[in-house]
Amino acid sequence: MKVNGKPYRTIWLGPDGKGVEIIDQTKFPHRFEIVRLKTVDDAAHAIKDMLVRGAPLIGATAAYGMALAMRADASDAGLERAYDRLYATRPTAVNLRWALDEMMRVLRPLGTQARAVAAYKRAAEICDEDVEINKAIGRHGLGIIRDIAERKAGERVNVLTHCNAGWLATVDWGTATAPIYMAHEAGIDIHVWVDETRPRNQGASLTAWELNQHGVPHTIIPDNTGGHLMQHGMVDLAIVGTDRTTANGDVANKIGTYLKALAAHDNNVPFYVALPSPTIDFGLHDGVREIPIEQRSGDEVAKMTGRTADGVIATVTIIPDGSPVANYAFDVTPARLVTGLITERGVIAANREAIRKAFPERG
């Protein structure tokens, strides 16, 4: 997607063809800074400290992390060490494991001399595949938005989204945002309600920034506003992303997604999940009990960072000294609350049979 008119992906090879460049997402929305990853430790740090985030981009960064590792030590021990180092970074998004397993599948049978070249090649393919998956999700989701626009006789379509499942969370296009960008490009009058997404504000700082860059009409709302908007007919559909979806269609996504799904259910608002297939965990069958939920530092809740009136980026504490804090980063929306899964192979029901039918080779 374009930043100030220049096309970017979220991850690419630097000029030497070895270092990996990313956009530091901790600096948004006030600064656009590119960071070069030179080692597997750089890649692990970028994932853990959320310079990159979003399930597909975590996977893509891990894939390149393996390539960086192979440059330094392509032995079997080096391979295992890199896998373990990257796997330990974040627990919820299953794309991380998917990408690491994929790299292992390709690299393990090779001799040490061949591993680095093969690793860069497979990492680049994983990135390209992500872009194609998201474009397909966009085309399928566009059909849903088009149907609603036709039913409303061209009147504005209002979409609610949570967190950032935009191009910054993927290699390009985004998952939840791909249908939105395509609808906008197709001339459909579309407007996005952007949940701010406390505590890290991925909606307010990332999704809003993206939509702004692309001229898509949007409004940032505090996280608790969605239910009110739905009660008043101001949301036509919700589209969110996912970090891990079980074989039966339970969906883990950023904390607060479940409450939006409950409100949507109560108000007959369609609730869609944009789901690239690497995000499906075919080994799990009960999302609430089985999906590991990341707990992050209480500082993310206790403090906020922003720009002061004189342009300085400052961090302030917003809670009383000594108050304990809980910071669960994700929650699980049961399949029964999901209207449909927008996958690269079409829009399917959130149940075991439909998922297995759409992805028979994996199920």
Stretch near ligand MRU under the rule CB under 6 A, chosen from 4-12, 51-59, 98-106, 115-123 = 51-59
Decide if residue 61 touches ligand MRU (CB under 6 A): no
Which residue's CB is nearer to ligand MRU, number 40 or number 163?
A: 163
Stretch near ligand MRU under the rule CB under 6 A, chosen from 33-41, 49-57, 74-82, 143-151 = 49-57
- Which residue has its beta carbon closest to ligand MRU? 241
Rounded distance between C-alpha atoms, residue 357 and residue 348, angstroms: 9
Could you give the count of Cα atoms lying within 13 Å of 359 in the half-sphere of its Cβ?
Answer: 26
Query: Which of 14, 17, 29 has its CA nearest to residue 211?
Result: 29
191-210 binders of ligand MRU (CB under 6 A):
202
Whole-angstrom CA distances from 172 to 94, 131, 135, 325 are: 19, 5, 9, 34
Question: Closest approach of Cβ 244 to ligand MRU, in Å?
Answer: 9
Decide if residue 89 touches ligand MRU (CB under 6 A): no
Among 23, 37, 47, 55, binds ligand MRU (CB under 6 A): 55
Rounded distance between C-alpha atoms, residue 267 and residue 1, angstroms: 34
Tokens of 250: 């339970």
233-252 binders of ligand MRU (CB under 6 A):
241-243
CB 325 within 8 A of CB 255: no
Query: Which of 151, 154, 129, 157 has its CA nearest to residue 276?
Result: 129
Stretch near ligand MRU under the rule CB under 6 A, chosen from 28-36, 69-77, 165-173, 188-196 = 165-173
- Please work out the total of residues on this chain that contact ligand MRU, with binding judged by CB under 6 A: 17
User: Three-state SS across 231-298?
Assistant: HCCCCCEEEECCCEEECCCCEEEECCHHHHHHHHHHCCCCEEEECCHHHEECCCCCHHHHCCCCECCC
Question: Closest approach of Cβ 344 to ligand MRU, in Å?
Answer: 13
- Find the catalytic residue in 243, 250, 281, 331: 243
Which residue's CB is nearer to ligand MRU, number 93 or number 194?
A: 93
Stretch near ligand MRU under the rule CB under 6 A, chosen from 14-22, 164-172, 231-239, 264-272 = 164-172
Query: Which of 95, 65, 246, 63 has its CA nearest to residue 169?
Result: 95
Which residue's CB is nearer to ligand MRU, number 79 or number 220?
A: 220
Rounded distance between C-alpha atoms, residue 240 and residue 257, angstroms: 8
Computed over its alpha carbons, how large is the radius of gyration of the chain? 20
Decide if residue 253 touches ligand MRU (CB under 6 A): yes
Tokens of 50: 């959320």
Q: To the nearest 5 percent, what fractions of the chain are helix, strand and coil?
A: 45, 20, 35
Which residue's CB is nearer to ligand MRU, number 44 or number 169?
A: 169
243 is catalytic: yes
Question: Closest approach of Cβ 80 to ligand MRU, in Å?
Answer: 26
Stretch near ligand MRU under the rule CB under 6 A, chosen from 54-62, 69-77, 188-196, 311-319 = 54-62
Which residue's CB is nearer to ligand MRU, number 67 or number 176?
A: 176
Among 9, 56, 68, 247, binds ligand MRU (CB under 6 A): 56
User: CA-based diameter of the chain, in Å?
Assistant: 63
CB 134 within 8 A of CB 55: no
- Give CA 122 to chain center in angstroms: 21
Decide if residue 100 touches ligand MRU (CB under 6 A): no
Question: Closest approach of Cβ 200 to ligand MRU, in Å?
Answer: 7
122-141 binders of ligand MRU (CB under 6 A):
none
Residues marked as catalytic: 243
Residues that bind ligand MRU (CB under 6 A): 53-56, 93, 163, 165, 169-170, 175, 202, 241-243, 253-254, 329
